[in-house]
Amino acid sequence: MNGRELVRFATHSALSHRLRSVLTALGIGIGVTAVVLLTSMGEGLHRYVLEQFTQFGTNIIGINPGRSTTFGASTGIFGSVRPLTIDDAEALKRVPFVLNTVPVVQGTASVEGGGRERSTNISGVGPEFQTAFDFRVALGTFLPADDPRAPRPLAVLGAKMRHELYGERSPLGELLRVGGERYRVIGVMEPKGQVLGFDLDDTVYIPAARALELYNRQGLFEIDVLYDKAVPADEVVAGIERMIIARHGGLDVTITTQQQMLDVLGSVLDIVTFAVAALGGISLLVGGVGIFTIMTIAVRERTAEIGLLRAIGAGRAQIRAIFLGESILLAGIGGAGGLLVGGLTVVLLGVAVPALPVGIALPYVVAAEAVAVLIGLAAGVVPAQRAAALDPVEALRAE
């Protein structure tokens, strides 16, 4: 008997107990569906988070004051011994392959304008911010390239901020009070949405030096460095380190490349996806128990048939192959059905709830089907072995 005939034989006997075979395959199918659904949610989360992080490009390096050994909250956010200054940001522009640097100061303040008041996020940034992060201006212009140490009091509003204060009116040229100081509105940004919980539209952009004054601090929050994509990040980081050491007399900053961040995030999210896949695997395990049980029953039920096959010359290996084939077939078909249902559900979810981040995790889909087939194999081994070991005379007597 060759492979194709084996499959035909197995299909034939599986079809002769239609309901039973369907239910057996269903057990595996539910498990595979669970794996597909869960991993696609994991994958969706993965993609969503990575998208959030990469939407500003991957060729960005963040410099935070203070040295921290572990990735994550740099102690520098609490303030540091040697502050990062606007001069540092200017100097870093001279590092090879650096295209642009953006000084950043962040905080909250009460903002008054258009007869209303609102507590909101304040981003003190440089004029390069707009191009570096690819933000588009809806109205007017972004902050101009003033003297970075003494910029004019100009402000650009986030889309939501403009709406809250001025409604549909154009705010261009209006006066705005930020923490008591007067600014003139020269632009409005296009809506950008939230990034990891931080509403970019509920923000007022002012020059970094003015934000430092507002908050009465010497040090910047962060300097973002945009570098030439063609150059490896390590080279740029080395240049930045040399510059900081030259200016500060030591490396008292934390340099984080986008890539590092993505790597760490990526591996964490991979673990999450793996964990949910394993959870879905519990159902697959139960489905495997089902196949085992049904195959054991089948061997018992078809003892006479086994005896006959042996009488007409089937070897043990052939009997084993027949039952293993049937078990694998059931699991494989169940798995394929699960893939179909799971995949369709994911697609439908994607259409019905576009906001829900789902994406089919192909490696897991393939793995789920492979595991289903393996489970069929594992669950079939003992019953098939039992069938092969049956004594033909005994088997024939069974009726």
Partner 1 sequence: MAMIRLEALGRTFEVGGQQVRALDQVDLTIEAGEYLSIMGPSGSGKSTLLNVLGLLDTPSVGAYWLDGVNTSTMGDDQLAATRQAQIGFVFQSFHLVPRMTAAENVELPMLLAGIGGAERRERAHRSLAGVGLADRADHRPAQLSGGERQRVAIARAIVMQPRLLLADEPTGNLDTGSGAEIVRIMETLNERGLTLIVVTHDLQIGERARRRLRLRDGRVVEDLRAAQA
Partner 2 sequence: MTFGDCTRVAAGALLRYPLRTAMMLLATAIGVAAVLVLTALGEAARSFVTDEFRALGTHLLVVLPGKTETTGMGPGLMAGESPRDLTLDDARAVLRSRAVARVAPLVVGAATVSFGGLERDITVMGTTAAMVEIRQWRMATGEFLRDQDWDRASPECVLGDTLRRELFAGLQPVGHWLRVGDRRCRVAGVLAPQGMSIMANVDELVLMPVAAAQQLLNVPGLFRLLIQATGRETVAGAQRDVVRILKERHRGQEDVTVITQDAVLTTFDGIFGALTAALAGIAAVSLVVAGVLIMNVMLVAVSQRTAEIGLLKALGASRRQVTRLFLTEAMILAACGALAGLVLGYAALVLMRALYPDLAFEPPGWALAGACLVALGCGVGFGILPARRAARLDPIAALAGR
Are 103 and 124 in contact by the 8 Å Cβ rule? The answer is yes
Q: Is 392 a residue that touches partner 1 (CB under 8 A)?
A: yes
Cβ 22 to partner 1 shortest distance, Å: 16
Instruction: Report the chain's C-alpha Rg in angstroms.
Output: 33
290 binds, among partner 1, partner 2, none (CB under 5 to 8 A by kind): partner 2
Which residue type sits at 86? I
Strand partners, 207: 125
| Rounded-to-integer distance, Cα 86 and Cα 108, Å | 20
| Rounded-to-integer distance, Cα 2 and Cα 4, Å | 6
Binding mask 115-154 for partner 2 (x = CB under 8 A): ---xxxx---------------------------------
Residues sharing a CB contact under 8 Å with residue 321, sequence separation 6 or more, in sequence order: 1, 6, 384
Cα torsion for 72, 78, 82, 88, to the nearest 10°?
Answer: 70
Touching partner 1, residues 303-322 (CB under 8 A):
304-305, 307-318
φ and ψ at 224, to 5 degrees? -100, 130
| Rounded-to-integer distance, Cα 181 and Cα 188, Å | 19
Q: Is 399 a residue that touches partner 1 (CB under 8 A)?
A: yes
Q: Is the dihedral of CA 240, 242, 246, 252 positive or negative?
A: positive
Please, which residue, 263 or 391, has the CB nearer to partner 1?
Answer: 391
Please, which residue, 193 or 315, has the CB nearer to partner 1?
Answer: 315
Query: Which of 27, 151, 307, 376 lies at the binding interface for partner 2 (CB under 8 A)?
Result: 27
Cβ 121 to partner 2 shortest distance, Å: 6
Cβ 398 to partner 1 shortest distance, Å: 11
5 binds, among partner 1, partner 2, none (CB under 5 to 8 A by kind): partner 1
Q: Is 280 a residue that touches partner 2 (CB under 8 A)?
A: yes
Residue listed under structure tokens 């010497």: 218
Characterise 179 by phi-psi region: left (phi > 0), alpha (psi -120 to 50), beta (else).
left
Binding mask 78-117 for partner 2 (x = CB under 8 A): xxxx-----------------------xxxxxx-------
Any idea what DSSP says for residue 212?
H
Which residue type sits at 170? S
Please, which residue, 9 or 53, has the CB nearer to partner 1?
Answer: 9
| Lookup: tokens for 85 | 């200054």
Q: Is 168 a residue that touches partner 1 (CB under 8 A)?
A: no
- Binding residues for partner 2, rule CB under 8 A, total 61
Q: Which residues bind partner 2 (CB under 8 A)?
A: 19-20, 23-24, 26-27, 30-31, 34, 38, 65-69, 75-81, 105-110, 118-121, 179-180, 196-199, 202, 214-218, 221, 276, 279-280, 282-283, 285-287, 289-290, 292-294, 296-297, 301
